[in-house]
Structure 1
Amino acid sequence: MKFWIVLSVVSLAAFVKAEGRGPSHSVTWGARAFRDMHVRREIITEKSKFLRVVTRDFVFTQNPKLARTITQIVITDQVREGLGGYAYLTGGGPQSDFVKIHFKSQRNKGFSFIVDIYAI
């Protein structure tokens, strides 16, 4: 009997601790190395529209004379529980000097992402 009570308490504690830790749609492209610099941080947000999918494109370009090579792009999803949107790399990215990212929400939802770009 004591075993079942202890097991119930432990299971309940694990369930309560895990609540709020749902899947996110965060993504990372590339890898950082020694001497990389944080070159850009952008917050991309779109509000939901009734029964619609909302999208937005983000483009990061540099001055060709001062261009750095991008090493890593970190996209952090701010909407938890798997209800946020998705990020797709559509152009450029690591080992280039520009980035094009397409953001797309789930139907009837909005999204909020933090975009961090690192370069050498």
Structure 2
Amino acid sequence: MRNISIVVALLTIISVASASYDIKYGRHNITQGYRKPGDRLLFIDHAIRPSSFLRVVSTEVDYPARGQPRNTTAITFFRVTDNMRNGKGGYAFVKSGGVGMSYLSLHLKSQRGEGYNFTTEVYGFPMLWHK
């Protein structure tokens, strides 16, 4: 029983440390939520930026797009994929929204002197409580 408690405590510490690392440094890929029966693809975006000598390039990705009204569809799953597999790709950060919400705001940035190539997919289904 004591061994189980120690393992649970270690896993908790590791997951908290990992979450704080992600917030500060971002991730190459992000996957949150679960695909469910009836989900549909709500949004797909391909963010590609070339490198800039000794600079970091960045952009924001928003669903729904800025200036568009928020919708009545709950996000059940989203995935941000770094398509540069050589370790020189960028980092993705969730700024706000996400699973269970009707919006998602991401910050994408490159490593210094590099570009990035991200694909963002958002899936969801209509909220039942909204008319």
Q: TM-score range by the shorter chain?
A: 0.7 to 0.9
Match of residue 81 from structure 2: 76
Q: Indicate whether 1:109 and 2:114 are aligned.
A: yes
Q: Give 1:76 deviation, angstroms.
A: 1.3
Match of residue 24 from structure 2: none
Q: Give 1:115 deviation, angstroms.
A: 0.6
Ranges in structure 1 where 5+ consecutive residues have no aligned partner: 1-23
Bigger share in helix: 2
Identical positions, percent: 33
- Count residues with an aligned counterpart: 96
Amino acid at match of 1:68: T
Q: Deviations over 1:90-111 (max 9, x none)?
A: 0101100011000011010000
Separation in structure 2 between the aligned mates of residue 108 and residue 34 of structure 1, nearest angstrom: 42
Match of residue 92 from structure 2: 87
Ranges in structure 2 where 5+ consecutive residues have no aligned partner: 1-26, 126-131
Match of residue 5 from structure 2: none
Q: Deviations over 1:64-89 (max 9, x none)?
A: 4x520001111111111211001000
**SS at structure 2 position matched to 1:82:** coil
Please show how residues 11-90 of structure 1 align to structure 2 within 5 Å. Answer: 25-61=28-64, 63-64=69-70, 66-90=71-95
- The Cα RMSD (Å) is 1.5
Separation in structure 2 between the aligned mates of residue 63 and residue 109 of structure 1, nearest angstrom: 34
Separation in structure 1 between the aligned mates of residue 112 and residue 46 of structure 2, nearest angstrom: 21
Separation in structure 2 between the aligned mates of residue 117 and residue 44 of structure 1, nearest angstrom: 14
Separation in structure 1 between the aligned mates of residue 91 and residue 55 of structure 2, nearest angstrom: 15
Separation in structure 1 between the aligned mates of residue 115 and residue 108 of structure 2, nearest angstrom: 10
**SS at structure 1 position matched to 2:86:** coil
